[in-house]
Amino acid sequence: DAGITQSPRHKVTETGTPVTLRCHQTENHRYMYWYRQDPGHGLRLIHYSYGVKDTDKGEVSDGYSVSRSKTEDFLLTLESATSSQTSVYFCAISESTGARDEQYFGPGTRLTVT
């Protein structure tokens, strides 16, 4: 299995609080992605990174920010959590040619916003 870990694996938080999810890889892959998975929607891209300090928005980026200060770590922050952000969040990595290569996925983080 690709070396991808996500932390925390489960989190319950209250509306309005900030939340940070961490993705850590040991593969030295260039591309990293954050998705959310909701029933009936498949996975939707939130943000992605194509290198250290290089990030771009995905299709559902409102309310989320990311940072990548090291190759191995990609952080997703919910600045002020809302109930609509209750979801399962997956991190993925991909090698140097981005979407020509397959992605490898982390185990997911289940976030509940009450």
Partner 1 sequence: AQSVTQLDSHVSVSEGTPVLLRCNYSSSYSPSLFWYVQHPNKGLQLLLKYTSAATLVKGINGFEAEFKKSETSFHLTKPSAHMSDAAEYFCVVSDRNFNKFYFGSGTKLNVKP
The amino acid present at 23, given as its one-letter code, is C
Our finding on whether 24 is near partner 1 (CB under 8 A) is no
- Cα within 13 Å of Cα(64), Cβ side: 26
Q: How far is the CB of 66 from partner 1 (least distance, A)?
A: 14
25, 29, 31, 74: which one binds partner 1 (CB under 8 A): 31
Among 73, 75, 71, 69, CA closest to 89: 75
The amino acid present at 48, given as its one-letter code, is Y
Q: What is the DSSP letter of 103?
A: P
Contacts to partner 1 from residues 42-61, by CB under 8 A: 42-45, 48, 50, 56, 58-59
Residue number, 10 or 16, with CB nearest to partner 1: 10
Helix (H) or strand (E) holding 113: strand 109-113
Tokens 């509306």 correspond to 15
From 10-18, 19-27, 70-78, 94-102, span contacting partner 1 (CB under 8 A): 94-102
Residues that bind partner 1 (CB under 8 A): 31, 33, 35, 40-45, 48, 50, 56, 58-59, 90, 92, 97-100, 102-108
